[in-house]
Structure formats: C-alpha cells, structure tokens
Amino acid sequence: MLNEKRYIDLMVPFYNFARQEIRKVDEKLSYYGTGEAGHWAIQSNFNVAGALAVLAETKEDIPLDKNELREMALRLFRYNLAAHQTGNGKASCGNKWGCSWISILGLERMVAGQLALEPYFTDADREAFRKLRLAEADFLLTYDIVAGMCADDSGNKPESNYWNGSFLYRAYIDYPDAPNREAYLEKSCAFLLNAISHPLDAASIDPYLGRELRNWHIGFNFTPNYSLDHHAYMNVGYSVITLSHAAYLYFYCKARKQEFPDFARLHVHDLWKVVKNFIFPDGRLLRLGGDSRARYCYCQMYLLPILMMMKDQGDQDALQFENGMLATIRHEQLDNPDGSFFGTRLADMKVISRYYYTRLESDPFAALAFCADFRRRFGDDEEPQTVSASPAEWEDAFHAANIVRSDKVVRSMVRRGAEGPVALALPLDDSSLAEWCGNGHAQLLGRASIYHETSKFNRSFPGGFINSGDTEISERLPVGEGEGIYVIANSSAACAALPDGKSMIILEKAHVVKEHMLFSLRSIGWKIPNDVHNDKKRSFYWNGSRRELKSYSGDGVIDTASTHVNVDDKISLVLGYGADSLKIYAPEQAMGVIKTCRSMTSLYVNEICGNVEELPARRRMPGDVLADTGYAVIAGVSAADGEGYKLRRLDAPGELRAVEFSTPEGKVWRFAANFGTLPENFDGRDILPGQCDLY
C-alpha cells in the first residue's frame, strides 16, 4: 500500500539529524543549516519548517512529540518572516532576504507545510506573512519576464517563470482584498504561459484570460521536442523541477478547493510524456545529458510531487516510479547512522560547504512531506503494477540528443551535455549503473576544463541512431595575470546505437590544440558507479575470471590484459582499437564531481578505460594525439554472452575511422566516421566531415 506512512517512516529518522543542524536565535526564533540570507539557506529553512509542520499533523503514531515538532516548525518559519525585507530582524549573516527572481522558491515548496501551520498562526504571524507575500507579489509585478531556448543567452527560465507565476496565483486566491489582486492574476498568467513554453505557442490562437496565446508569448524555453537547455546543457533535472512546480500549484488549488487554471496546465502533459522516457522503472532519473551537481539528490527528489499529480490525473506508471523512489531513498538512508539522507556519500561536502550540504539534505525532507500530506488529504493507493515497458525513440536536434529504449535496455547519446558528450547503454533493471560525467569519452584532466560542441550531427532510424560531432575543450580557470581562456584540445567522436536492441559503438579521436599540462588522461572513460546504491561492490569479469571491487578500494589501474570486460553480468565492453587491452580504474577518491566545485564529490565511480596516464602531469604539445579509440558496449548481456561480440578496425583513408562489428548470431554491421575536414568515400558511401554512417 502506498500511503502516508511510507513517507512518514522516512521523515522520522531525519529529525534526529535535523535538530542537530537547528540553531536557536532567541526564545521565539531558530534556523536550520547556516541561516544566511542567501536563497539556498532560506529555501532549506522553509523546507524543514514545512516538513516538520506536516510531520506534526500525521495520523500515524510516531516516536516524536508532535507539539515539539509543530513548535519547532513555527520557530523556523518565524525566523524567515523576521529576516525578510518586511520583517523586524535579520538573517545570521546580518542581511535581509527577499524580492528577487528566486526569493519565493522556498515558500512554493512548503505549500503543504503552510497549510499545516495556518491553524496555529497568531494574528501577528498572519499579518507578517501577508506583508511578506504581498511585498513579493508586488515585486514580481515589476519583474520582466524573459524566456528563451538557449541558456547561453541567459534567457532560459522555465522553472522560475513557473514558480513566480504560481506564487502570484496563490496570492490572488488567498487575498481577495489585496490592492493589486487583478494585476497578480494577469502577471501570473503571463509567467505561467512562458514557463513550459514551446515554439508553436508563438502562433497559437488558444484563448487565455481573453487574449490569444500568441499575444502572451514572450519566448520558448523548450525545444520543439521538449528538451531543455537549462545551465547550457540538456538538463533533464530542470524539466523535472519545472513540472514539480505545476504539482505544487495543482495541490494547493485542490486543497483550497479552487480551479487549477488553464494557463497553469499549458504543456504540462506534453512535457511529462517526454520526461517519462528519461526515468528508469525504479523511479531514478535517466539524466542522458548529464548532471553538473550532486548525483541522485536535488532534482531527483522533486520528481516525487510530480508523481502525486500525475497519478491523481490517471497515470498508473507514476505509482511504480513512486514505489521505486521510496525504496531507493530508504536504501541510502539506512547507510547513514545519523538519520540523514546523504550523510555518508556527501561526507566531504559537510566540511567544504555546510550551506550546500544542509540544503541538499532538506530537499528530500520537503518532497516527502508534500507527498505524505497529499496522501493524507486525498487517499492511498494499492501496490503498483509493473511500469509498461513499451519501446520509445526520441531525438532532439539542438542538443544532438538521441534515446532508444527497448523493453530491457536503454541507449542514448547527447552531444551538448553537462561536461561534454554523454553516451549511455544500460539495462533498465539496474539504474545504479548510470553515471553521466562525460561518460564514454576520453577524460582529459588539466587545471580545469570546459566543453563546447562545435559541430553536431544526429539521425534516428527504427531501433537505433547515429550521432557525431566535434567538441572543444578549454581551460576554465586561468591563474596567471594576462592569461586567457584557451582551447587546449579537440575531440571528434561518433556513436551508433545498433538496431539490435542492446549494442552501441563509439569511435573517438582527441588531440592537443595548444600546449598544456595534463594531470590525467584516460581514453574510453566508461563509468561504473560503485557506491551505496549497489551496496558498494561490483563484480568485473574478463578472461573467464571474476574480480570484485569495493568502493574506495584505491587499487589504481588494473590491466585486464583482455579486450572484453563485463560488469555484474549486465554490461560488456569490447575493445576494437586504440589500446592493447581494457583497464579498470579504481581510485581512492570519488569521481562524481560537482562542476562548480570539483573539490566536492557525490559518487564513487570505477572506470573502464583504454590507455591510462595518471600523475605526474605531462606537458602536451599541439598535434599530440591523446586518444584514438574504437569500442563497443553491449547492455543486458552476461559475461559469457559478451565474449561472442567482436569489433575490428578496417582500413580507411585520411581521418576516416571505420570498424566492423559482429554478433554471436553472425550479424555484421559496419560503422564509419569522418574526423577530417574533407569528404571521404568508404565502401562506396560519401561521408561528410563530422558525420558518420552505419550499414
């Protein structure tokens, strides 16, 4: 049974952690985390306040004092009221918060907590809360709405447009006597119609508040195929964040017995139909474009509110996703003796940024509370059935993105990824095998690197796709006075997902453009997470033998002396050329880095590589070839079956790379990619620069 108790059981242990992070200011006020006026600190304080308020209202018997929980929730909530620009206090840093593009985000995420606290507000609380909400709403009336597809132009704002529009609509329904009430409605409509906005909206004559959609339309945040370029890469996580705010408004309207407005529904289900392709059956997000932040944390948690909304609107798959997510959260929480959600896995973050860490811990607490309250108010569900595993194929030209799913395997390729191109080939029954950071491509680590795609090509066909292009690697952090940000290397790569439902071929050539010091070079770079979600051990098979590797083993580079390696009897890699053998990299430290602060990691990862060069750093000169490799990945196969797949290099002219791939059943494919600047002919086929062909 999926009910309130499933959520409450995860929330209760967390309170033991949370109260260690709560600081008392005076007899009336406390804050969770670090308490600054910075928006993450304010959000996390609202997250915990709202979740405690919901926990205090549970119908379940819990080993906590519900009056204590409610009083703590009020103390945290009043802290934020006092520290707001309309309040009579300040945050722990000495500043006030409020009236920005993101300031009301925490209030949106604690809508269930707000409803739980309202019966316990004093008159002073109500007046302070009204002043805060109307001040923020009036500020949003002056805030220019922008929307645009490309994040490089700083105009891509689907999620903030949605939460700001939602905030205004909630003020509209809650304060009928507000002086600017009608203006709140109109600006809310404008924000929401430019949240999940689509190119075709510019010509739509559908009416909203008496005006055609095309007259409301400012810009489209999503591509024609509903991919999202937030933070300048194909960002599945922020598609989820945007949808989560639709869920908050949907819940609030339902609880207030108000209509969920038509302008808030625009493209919600269109986007959900696409996002469902990017979710494993166990509810874990399939972030095919990568993730620049902590793995399996923030965006993952805010999938839960969406599942509540979608199930309420008839989507039965949402129940299975929900069930899987609860099991995953529980599994990791049991690994943390303090009741936290991520305490062991994010241990280094606690020291480097308590601000960041306490915020991440608050996200699942808030999302679980929302769902618990939804279940308490609107009913339970029977245990879910298995998610329908119908094949799916999807592509997007802007991100050069492709995905193809069978009933057992998912394969994808995205060129505009968080840290360069990202390739994935995974069995759908084991989401813990997925790690995104530049997966499947040479790992070139210097002082700091940024990736930018300079050419891209992709094409789908029934059951598969081909995808290729060039990527520039630049230094991100020049340290010398007058030193610029230079392109230091170029990678040309091509990928083919074969129409056999399981196999993928990847070819790559990377070379130095400007002299540079490289600390680490690992070709192929196929990542195998080895952390809490797989119980911190993996089995690797090669040459008929098996070796178990544990998390943080520090074994360094393991040369298998084999061209075939299998992981857990679930995925095989086959080397075609570019190295003598496959190696397994088992470092001492985690590698799942957070892009904005590489000293913080969030996941331990092993890596299957071709050639590996670690410290000491080496000076590389223009023209040096860093990687020139070809390999295949076969997902959903045992070690024994994987041995039957072969990949060999074919002679080809110029900068053309060509391979022949054969299966145990005798099926043969040829794949060729042009990494040069001139057209080439191979097997009677003309292949343009930057493109590839499979036949």
Looking at the structure, do residues 317 and 194 belong to the same domain, yes or no? yes
**59 is a domain residue:** yes
pLDDT band at 2 (very low <50, low <70, confident <90, very high): confident
Q: What Rg do the C-alpha atoms of the chain give, in angstroms? A: 26
Residue 288 has pLDDT above 70, yes or no: yes
Q: What is the pLDDT of residues 157-193, one digit of tens each?
A: 999 999 999 999 999 999 999 999 999 999 999 999 9
Residue 475, pLDDT score: 80
Identity at 449, one-letter amino acid code: S
Residues 357 and 503 in one domain: no
pLDDT value for 448: 67
Domain membership flag for residue 633: yes
DSSP code string of 455-504? EEEEEEETTEEEEEEEEEEEES---STT----EEEEEEEEEEE-TTSSEE
> Which amino acid is present at 235?
N
pLDDT digits (tens, 9 = 90+) for 500-548: 999 999 999 999 999 988 888 999 999 999 999 999 999 999 999 999 9
The whole-number average pLDDT for the span 280-289 is 97
Same domain, 107 and 158: yes
pLDDT of 616 over the 90 cut: no
Mean pLDDT in the chain?
96
Percent of the chain with pLDDT strictly greater than 90: 91
**Domain match, 241 and 373 both:** yes
Lowest-confidence pick of 225-239, 312-326, 607-621 = 607-621
Asked if residue 388 is part of any domain, the answer here is: no
Angstrom distance (rounded) from CA 303 to CA 251: 14
3-state SS string for 563-598? CEEEECCCEEEEEEECCCCCEEEECCCCCCEECCEE
Question: Taken in order 673, 677, 683, 684, is the CA torsion positive or negative?
Answer: positive
Burial of 178 (0-12, 13-18, 19+ CB in 10 A): middle
Nearest to 298 by CA among 235, 210, 209, 392: 235
Residues 410, 423: Cα–Cα separation, whole Å: 11
Q: Which residue, 103, 104, 241, is CA-closest to 159?
A: 241
Residue 23 pLDDT more than 70? yes
CB of 473 closer than 8 Å to CB of 493: no
* Residue 388 confidence (pLDDT) above 70: no
3-state secondary structure of 227: coil
Whether residue 634 is found in the same domain as residue 658 = yes
Domain span at residue 523 reads 393-694
Indicate whether 143 and 292 sit together in one domain.
yes
Q: Are 544 and 636 in contact (CB under 8 A)?
A: no
Do the domain assignments include residue 589?
yes
Do residues 177 and 45 both lie within one domain?
yes
- pLDDT bucket at 444, cuts 50 / 70 / 90: confident
| pLDDT value at residue 19 | 95
Task: Tell me: do 245 and 213 sit in the same domain.
Answer: yes
User: Are 209 and 76 in a shared domain?
Assistant: yes
pLDDT tens figures, 619-674 = 999 999 999 999 999 999 999 999 999 999 999 999 999 999 999 999 999 999 99
User: Would 269 be classed as within a structural domain?
Assistant: yes
| Secondary structure percentages of the chain, helix, strand, coil, to 5 | 35, 25, 40
DSSP string, 25-78: -SSS-EEETT--SSHHHHHHHHHHHHHHHHHHT-SS--SS-HHHHHHHHHHHHH
pLDDT digits (tens, 9 = 90+) for 3-19: 999 999 999 999 999 99
Please indicate, yes or no, if residue 465 is contained in any of the structural domains: yes
Asked if residue 233 lies in contact with residue 295, where contact means CB atoms within 8 angstroms, the answer is no
How many CB atoms sit inside 10 A of residue 216's CB? 24
Give the whole-number percent of the chain exceeding pLDDT 70.
Answer: 99
Contact between 208 and 193 under an 8 Å Cβ cutoff? The reply is yes
CATH number of the domain encompassing residue 482: 2.70.98
Band (389; pLDDT cuts 50, 70, 90): low
> What span, in angstroms and rounded, lies between the C-alpha atoms of 606 and 529?
6
Q: Determine how many CB atoms are found less than 10 A away from the CB of residue 467.
A: 26
Cis ω before 158 (30° cut-off from 0): no
Last residue of a domain, one of 353, 378, 403: 378
Do 370 and 402 lie in one domain? The reply is: no
Q: Give the mean model confidence (pLDDT) for residues 449-477.
A: 93
416 & 337 share domain: no
Q: Angle formed by the axes of helices 317-333 and 4-18, to 10°?
A: 30
Q: Which of 572, 501, 288, 533 is nearest to 402 (CA)?
A: 288
What is the residue-wise DSSP string for 594-631? ETTEEEEE---EEEEESSEE-SSPEEE-TT-EEEEEEE
**pLDDT of amino acid 185:** 98
Contact 458, 395 (CB under 8 A): yes
pLDDT at position 480 is: 81
In this structure, the answer to whether residues 341 and 418 fall within a common structural domain is no
Among the three residues 350, 378, 406, which one is the final residue of a domain in this structure? 378
CB of 528 within 8 A of CB of 567? yes
What span, in angstroms and rounded, lies between the C-alpha atoms of 247 and 311? 11
Rounded to two decimals, the pTM is: 0.97
Inside any domain, residue 387: no
Does residue 91 carry a pLDDT above 70? yes
Confidence of residue 387 (pLDDT cuts 50, 70, 90): low
- pLDDT, tens digit, 9 for 90 and up, residues 133-157: 999 999 999 999 999 999 988 899 9
Q: Kindly state the helix (H) or strand (E) to which residue 4 belongs, with its residue range.
A: helix 4-18
pLDDT of residue 1: 81
Span 573-598, pLDDT tens digits: 999 999 999 999 999 988 877 876 76
Residue ending a domain, among 344, 378, 412, is 378
Tell me whether residue 384 is in a domain. Answer: no
Domain count, the chain: 2
| pLDDT at res. 313 | 96
Q: CATH no. for residue 239? A: 1.50.10
Average pLDDT (193-202) is 98
Is the separation of the CB atoms in 518 and 647 below 8 Å? no
